[in-house]
Chains A and B, each alone.
Chain A
């Protein structure tokens, strides 16, 4: 079974530039998550999609971050303009959405972003 695919693997940009990350979840997984993981910290949820609808984006800095999942499969996360504090690993995860409490998340390898 193919896992969660993310690209690019690494990205280096200068502050005030724009950047976009792409995620392809596991086939059949209705729920997709974007997490931000700053070095030495646990992942922080930025946005959660159920199919192509947003379930939770309470911690997404909406003045600079945007995300979409137009056809309920692939998703893109964009930062415009980037700040130094956005340097982090951006993890995409997906889950089946069976409704079970024990439903686990499957993570991609992440995109490591460095903002200079």
Chain B
């Protein structure tokens, strides 16, 4: 079967670092995506990993371990505007993109 797990909610402080984890079990693996979704808005692309290791893009980094079926999104120097839902999605067999439930991140002053 297909399963993607993320924590439902997280809270962090402005200026801090937060790590959002994602574990997956899917039929086939053709890459893992992270999307950001502000309330009432469209999801927007953050990162893509297909090989093991860390991809860094400014304040955001994403890590993948295919053998463990595990990824994380690391957000540094948190800002209030980073309060949003973060969606982990896996491209499985046939190219289908399957989303996790999303992690609602609240950044407090």
Whether the Cβ atoms of A101 and B50 lie closer than 8 Å is yes
Please name all residues of chain A whose beta carbon is closer than 8 Å to the beta carbon of B89 when the two chains form the complex: 42
Whether the Cβ atoms of B94 and A102 lie closer than 8 Å is no
Whether the Cβ atoms of B98 and A45 lie closer than 8 Å is yes
Please name all residues of chain B whose beta carbon is closer than 8 Å to the beta carbon of A108 when the two chains form the complex: 42
Pair count A-B, CB < 8 A: 51
Interface residues of B in 40-68 (CB under 8 A from A): 40-45, 48, 50
Select one of B30, B33, B42, B99 contacting A110, CB under 8 A.
B42
Chain A interface residue bracket vs B: 20 to 34
Type the 1/0 row for B92-103, where 1 means its CB is closer than 8 Å to any CB of A.
001011111110
What total of chain B residues lie within 8 Å of the partner, measured CB to CB?
Answer: 24
Which A positions have Cβ atoms within 8 angstroms of B?
3-4, 33, 35, 40-45, 48, 55-56, 91, 101-102, 104-110, 112
Interface residues of B in 2-27 (CB under 8 A from A): 4, 8
Q: Which of A33, A41, A56, A101 has the most CB of B within 10 A?
A: A101
Please name all residues of chain A whose beta carbon is closer than 8 Å to the beta carbon of B87 when the two chains form the complex: 42-43
The CA of A33 and the CA of B40, in the complex, are separated in Å by 19
Whether the Cβ atoms of B94 and A104 lie closer than 8 Å is no
